[in-house]
Amino acid sequence: MNESRPPVPAENRTSASGLRVGIIGCGAIAINHLDAYNRHEDAFVANCMDTDPDRASTFAREHGIPAWTTDTGELLSAVDVVSVCTPHPTHEALVLQAARAGVDVLCEKPLAIDVQSAERMVNACREAGIHLGAVFQRRFWPAAQRIRAALDADALGSPILARAEVLLHRDASYYTATPWRGKWESDGGGVLMTQAIHYVDLLQWYLGDVDWVMATADTFKHGDYIEVEDTLAATLRFTSGAIAQFTASTALTPALGQRLSITGSHGATVSLLEYPEGTSAVNEVWTVPGHEAFTHPAAVLDDVALPEINASLAPFHALQVADFVHAVRQGTEPAVTGEDALRSLHTMTAMYASMRSGQPERPGGGTQPVVPTEPVREVSR
């Protein structure tokens, strides 16, 4: 028998208070979703669910949520919208169940750990006529929005060159305290899948679809307790012809933050810098004629605890949740769709394929007929 508190009656799903929201998975990131919905006048959290009854009941009690349950179906029968905040491999089953119930879904990244699962999720939600959004809250930074606006205004010309750096610190406890982290079967990958995925999304938001990738990776620091990569470097060629260099690592002490820059055919360069991790990025370099600027935060080299990172990102979760609620209420597309998340997953899958094959690989399959000049090391296992 599933333990639960009485659910909100289905006939009272939508009231003057707005959309009734359910949160699936009551771990650390669920707080950001809860706070974001609580800030919105058209939505409120009516129910939460976790397979651990103690965690579900504690989360509900501490945050004033009217009901909790350990049964997904029970939660889905009582809400209009659900946020999926569970480990990566569980996303597909939960999203498919929500689609069958006709409940709109906002899912934490990555959408899934393999392309086939993500495609099933996107297709099921499309066929059910519900919204599927994926959390890439960094798109909502003012610095990120300013770059998007500059590209839309042709202030740079066509993007020709980009560089993304994800240079982070994680200690052993980050992996060992959470059993599913750092394993191919449950995490789907390492720094690329879990941290750098946000910058894959930003690159594709700015530069479009990827034609092929060439990647190499290794496990330099965390190999005693993880199977996946902690460091990688890649070259991406976009269908537009633009080229990007992409590096990522969780092996730094201290972290150096995350940076993305784009140079256009007019010669101008724009960039953003996220330092410390989780804080709202600044436009570090801006060489658009008439608007030149260079900004750099105070140089305080220190590592930030994961709860602080999540807390710093909470305002941008709130902006994405607000966008998603608006899309549901108005019947429009959210800013970040399931298709967007699927596009990023295609690119990352090609990166992992290239790490193993030593060849350039195309998103969606197929080896790019370019002979690499040097061998590529396989991801350490």
Q: How far is 214 from 243, CA to CA, in rounded Å?
A: 11
- CA angle 78–80–82, rounded 5-degree value: 90
Q: Is the pLDDT of residue 34 over 90?
A: yes
Q: Which of 19-28, 291-300, 326-335 has the lowest mean pLDDT?
A: 291-300
Q: Is the pLDDT of residue 14 over 60?
A: no
Residue 46 burial (CB count, 10 A) = 25
Mean pLDDT for the stretch of residues 323-327: 97
Q: Is the pLDDT of residue 293 over 90?
A: yes
Residue 370: per-residue pLDDT: 44
Cβ pair 185, 228 in contact under 8 A: no
Residue 298: per-residue pLDDT: 61
Each domain of the chain, given as residue ranges in start order, spans 10-137, 138-312+338-357
Q: Is the pLDDT of residue 7 over 50?
A: no
Q: Is the pLDDT of residue 151 over 80?
A: yes
Comparing 339 with 366, which gets the higher pLDDT?
A: 339
Burial, 178: exposed, middle or buried (Cβ in 10 Å; 0-12, 13-18, 19+)? middle
Helices (H), the chain: 30-38, 53-63, 72-76, 91-101, 115-128, 142-152, 172-176, 184-187, 191, 197-207, 306-330, 338-357
Structure token digits, residue 97 = 């169940």
Residue 376: per-residue pLDDT: 35
State pTM to two decimals.
Answer: 0.90
Q: How far is 14 from 206, CA to CA, in rounded Å?
A: 37
Give Cα 358 distance to the centre of its chain. 27
Q: Is the pLDDT of residue 15 over 90?
A: no
Beta partners for residue 212, in sequence order: 237
What does the pLDDT look like over 295-315, one tens digit per residue?
A: 876 666 678 898 999 999 999
Residue 296: per-residue pLDDT: 75
What does the pLDDT look like over 246-276, one tens digit per residue?
A: 999 999 999 999 999 999 999 999 999 999 9
Domain 138-312+338-357 has CATH 3.30.360.10: yes
Say what percent of the chain tops pLDDT 70.
Answer: 90
Residue 366: per-residue pLDDT: 54
Name the average pLDDT for the chain: 91
Structure token digits, residue 161 = 């060159």
Q: How far is 115 from 100, CA to CA, in rounded Å?
A: 21
Q: Is the pLDDT of residue 128 over 70?
A: yes
Q: Which residue has the tokens 């003012």?
A: 142
Comparing 302 with 173, which gets the higher pLDDT?
A: 173
Burial, 331: exposed, middle or buried (Cβ in 10 Å; 0-12, 13-18, 19+)? exposed
In CATH, which of 1.10.10.410, 3.40.50.12780, 3.90.1300.10, 3.40.50.720 is domain 10-137? Answer: 3.40.50.720
Q: Is the pLDDT of residue 4 over 70?
A: no
Q: Is the pLDDT of residue 8 over 50?
A: no
Mean pLDDT for the stretch of residues 106-134: 97
Cβ pair 265, 160 in contact under 8 A: yes
Strand order from edge to edge, sheet including 43-49? 67-69, 43-49, 19-24, 81-84, 104-107, 132-134
Q: Which of 102-116, 199-213, 238-252, 364-378 has the lowest mean pLDDT?
A: 364-378
Structure token digits, residue 244 = 């990007």
What b/e sequence results for 244-263 when a residue is b if at least 16 CB atoms lie within 10 Å of its CB, and e otherwise?
bebbbbbbbeebbbbbbbbb
Comparing 17 with 108, which gets the higher pLDDT?
A: 108
Q: Is the pLDDT of residue 3 over 80?
A: no
Residue 381: per-residue pLDDT: 32
